[in-house]
Amino acid sequence: MCQLLTRCLTMPRTIVSCFPLRPWMAVMLWLELLIVSGHSTAAEELFEQPVPQPIGIVAFVEGPAWHPTGNVYFSDGANNRIMRRDRTGAMHVFRHPSGAANGLLFDLEGRLLACEGPGPQGHRRVTRTEPDGTITVLTDRFQKHRYAGPNDLTIDSKGRIYFTDPRYGSRRGLEILDRDGRAIEGIYRIDPDGSVTQVLTHEVNRPNGICISADDRWLFVVDNNNNTPDVPRAVWRFAVTPAGTVVPGSRKKLHDFGRGRGGDGMALDVAGRLYIAAGRTVASPPHETTEVPGGVYVITPEGKQVGFVPIPEDEVTNCTFGGRDLKTLYITAGHTLWSIGVRTAGFVPWLSRKATDTRVRPK
């Protein structure tokens, strides 16, 4: 089995040895059919290889964030920790416990931000790791009520942080309600002065991945309610005012994943295109089908799909750009951190805005 995977993906034998990969047999056949049938044409224009390469394996990976020191930080949800992969490929524990960290992002000063989710180990808050390793809580409540489960985040040119607050799994303990008593799985903005504003409520059913455009004019949100049939599994675009206000009435559907597993995290390139982690290779009944193959979908700011690269492991959860020229896409999926070369550089807010790169140092 390892030899088959090595032959198909040109992956280093040491990375795949002794790892349970039986479900990947069907995946590899699917990948071969996908490439032979010509579906890789668009991907060839955006990506350097037909499929990504695995560069690290842990229990369950999410929320990658790249640092110019050559380190890639990502969440290992199953073990309640934030990991760091250094430039040699070695894995290190950056933070444990992590408070059920999910989405990660560097702020404009190069400090690591984390969305900490729900569950027995979760803190349901947004935090910042300071240069000395101490943790600063940016927000853990909105109007004295605890969040549902902060999931992912983005930052604009003024340092304003937008984060999503969905609840997956148990619906117990939801505290932020509307006037009719319905739970709000909303989107919030943290301003540099520490104030928090609820910018969207029911305009998105269950917000997950989030990105703001380089010019701060558009907010992109993945709507991912995969456990419920007949609800949008869409990517929405909202207008944003110079003051950071998100305009609810400006909502536009850019892409709909239909009955398949919807999108999760995403990243932007310098051309404004969205790279969205989405889909499944193996069905997860009853509501997550294989109608949308697992991989990274590339769409324009207007919603046209222009590329796709398959990922041979479920679930594809998130992605970020990195590398010296920001032309490497790092992808989290299942147990594995993947990477693939791209032809257009990524947009990384704190680097693109000439922030310092010394606040987070390797340990």
Percent of the chain at pLDDT exceeding 90: 70
- Fold exhibited by the domain 22-352: Neuraminidase (2.120.10)
Tens-place pLDDT, residues 256-288: 998 888 999 999 999 999 999 999 999 888 878
The pLDDT of residue 37 is above 80: no
Tell which wins on pLDDT, 104 or 17.
104
Confidence of residue 17 (pLDDT cuts 50, 70, 90): very low
Cβ contact 245:199 at 8 Å: yes
Confidence of residue 330 (pLDDT cuts 50, 70, 90): very high
Instruction: Check residue 118 and report its DSSP letter.
Output: -
Tens-place pLDDT, residues 286-322: 878 888 999 999 999 999 999 999 999 999 999 999 9
Confidence of residue 50 (pLDDT cuts 50, 70, 90): confident
Percent of the chain at pLDDT exceeding 70: 85
**What CA–CA distance (Å, rounded) separates 47 from 363?**
32
- For the chain, helix (H) and strand (E) counts, in that order, are 5, 26
Amino acid 277: pLDDT:
98
Tens-place pLDDT, residues 93-129: 999 999 999 999 999 999 999 999 999 999 999 999 9
- Mean pLDDT, the chain, as a whole number? 86
The token pair that represents 29 in the structure block: 């056949």
Which pTM value belongs to this model?
A: 0.86
Confidence of residue 211 (pLDDT cuts 50, 70, 90): very high
Amino acid 20: pLDDT:
37
Q: Which residues contact 265 (CB under 8 A, 6 or more apart)?
A: 62, 63, 103, 152, 208, 209, 222, 276, 277, 317, 318, 319, 332
**What CA–CA distance (Å, rounded) separates 305 from 297?**
7
Tens-place pLDDT, residues 232-265: 799 999 999 999 999 999 999 999 998 888 999 9
Tell which wins on pLDDT, 221 or 37.
221
State the average pLDDT over residues 210-219. Answer: 98
State the average pLDDT over residues 141-152. Answer: 98
Where is average pLDDT lowest: 39-53, 132-146, 333-347?
A: 39-53
State the average pLDDT over residues 82-88. Answer: 96
The token pair that represents 356 in the structure block: 């310092």
